[in-house]
A and B are shown apart, each in its own frame.
Chain A
Amino acid sequence: MADIVGHRKSGLIAIALLAANLAAAVVLVRSARAALGETADSVRVDRSALHGELAASSHRDFTIQRISTPAGIVVNEYVSGAGTVFAVSWRGPRPPDLSKLLGSYFAEYRDAAAKPNPQRRHLRIQTEHVVVESGGHMGDLWGRAYVPSLLPSGVSVEEIK
């Protein structure tokens, strides 16, 4: 199964290919449940995929589920009182697997990020459904993503750190 540091391609023989396809299918099913816009349950899926430690902290209008990986990547998932992940943030020596963390919003982000960007070394992507911002420099990269329509009332964007 895929993980953040060691996705291994299978060998050449047919059985190995079949096994790889099955594994990929399992990952796809899990991705469909993962993170942004999904339920708090998906945080555990992300924790497992990232091989991370999980810690929770409660705030007035939301809970932060923090995943810390052995590679020094920290991911925060912001969960509303209704149990929906409305934002994620990250910081580390490299970006985490955003195809998992952004879930169904990933393709929208990836397509927008591929377009020419007059900002060099900062990224601010605003699509129809999601906002993704990232900054930093080599070895210390951070970012945040949120779904404006899912922000609980009373929560400001500045609280997503």
Chain B
Amino acid sequence: VKLAGAAMVLIFIAALCAGCGGGGGGGGGNTACSAPAMGTGNVQPIAVNLGPVGNYVNGVFTSVKVCIPGTSKCRTVDDVLVDTGSYGLRILNSQLKLALPHQTDKGGNPVGECAFFVDFFTWGPVDTADVQIAGEIAPDVPVQVIGASGFPSPPSDCTSVGTPAFDTLAALGAKGILGIGVFAQDCGTTCESTGPANPGLYYSCPSSGCTGVTAEAAQNQVQNPVPLFPSDNNGVIVHLPAVGASGSSTACGSLLFGIGTSSNNSLGNATVLTADDFGNFTTIFKGISYSQSFIDSGSNALFFLDSATSGIRGCANAPGFYCPSSSLRLKAQNMGANSASRTTAFGIANADQLFSTGNAAFNNLGGTNPGAFDWGLPFFFGRKVFVAIDGQSTPGGPGPYWAY
């Protein structure tokens, strides 16, 4: 990888920032890591800030280099959300400005996808790109281009779920989403089937309009790029510094590729929590087990239970968030399918007060999520979180697992 001198300086500054962020505390305001440069080797700088629209609380962002396969026609897109709760790279067409080739189905028609997130869906063609993050390069990766101009509109099977299509920078609050969770692709075998067993994510889309669900082989589905790297490809580590009780305007950390593949990514004494077929584990809180729990850097709070169950009151100004009258120290036990468990302390502060600081990074922001624990970005501060990908071998056993 050839690096220009200016880029080298940026990486040096980012490395300095990553080194000095560990102490946490109040607003740092370090602009050097607000738009992380491309890293080297298996280390990619990441930053928590308010994002490219300036309204994203607890979003963690990085840069991704996308190229037309086999060429040097590339675009480096910054402000891409680092998301352990999804699988695959999705980039807004308006930010990519690069004509990637469409993937086509057996009939020669472009393939479109509606990818469902909790609060929105993304719609656009499946294109093919060479993807580079730090020094790791994955060739010929199926990616989703969101809001591609001239592409047919989403089928009614996508719009009938009621959540909006996020296809603009203003809506998404990020220029793309880098899904690096515990699975290699965004659907798996069910999307390979024909008939009613197919959940209906991939569509055959001639220019006259999408005509119906298309059976999509797993390797053609939008892919988590990490398993496609030549090395350091069995998982990732998300490493963010601690932040203080009133949050921080920015937090600079690292995304490391590979688990136990290099001197800088060993598992150490982290506890391995094996994930189930859905990528979930069990959280035990006040003696009750919640089996649909997971760790998600794309969730911007610790979303768990509801006021009636948790005993924590909701907010006057921020609906869906928790607003205790004084900050709470709580603990829960996370248990994997392998029966390994780890007790985890967490704090919940008054979300209305946190939001009034104008800060971006909070380790104690909580909200409701009936019946489950969604360990969102607050969980990541002051930790190394290991994400082992399904089917990959690691020193801690095969993925999928979470470890910390």
Interface residues, chain A, with chain B CB atoms under 8 Å away: 2-9, 51, 69-73, 92-100, 102, 106, 109-110, 113-114, 116-124, 126, 133-142, 144, 156-158, 161
Contacts and interface: CB of A to CB of B under 8 A. Distances in A.
Contacts of B355: 118
B213 A5 contact: yes
Contact of B368 (A8, A97, A100, A133): A133
B117 A138 contact: yes
A95 B201 CA distance: 11
Interface string B363-381: 0000111111010100000
A121 B213 CA distance: 26
A98 B156 CA distance: 11
Nearest to A9: B209
Given A7-B212, A109-B162, A136-B118, A126 B319 contact: yes
Contact of B85 (A3, A134, A138): A138
Nearest to B301: A119
Contact of B117 (A70, A114, A121): A121
Contact of B201 (A9, A94, A97): A94
B369 A97 contact: no
By DSSP majority rule, is chain A's interface helix, strand, loop, or mixed?
loop
B238 to A, nearest CB: 15
Instruction: Name, among A120, A134, A142, A144, the residue most crowded by chain B CB atoms within 10 Å (CB to CB).
Output: A120
Contacts of B309: 158
B300 A110 contact: no
Contacts of B45: none
24 contacts: A4-B196, A5-B157, A6-B196, A9-B211, A71-B196, A93-B190, A96-B161, A97-B157, A98-B160, A99-B160, A102-B162, A113-B163, A118-B300, A119-B300, A120-B298, A120-B299, A121-B118, A122-B374, A123-B163, A137-B86, A141-B116, A141-B118, A142-B292, A158-B306
A135 B87 contact: no
B196 A5 contact: yes
A124 B368 contact: yes
A136 B292 contact: yes
A126 to B, nearest CB: 7
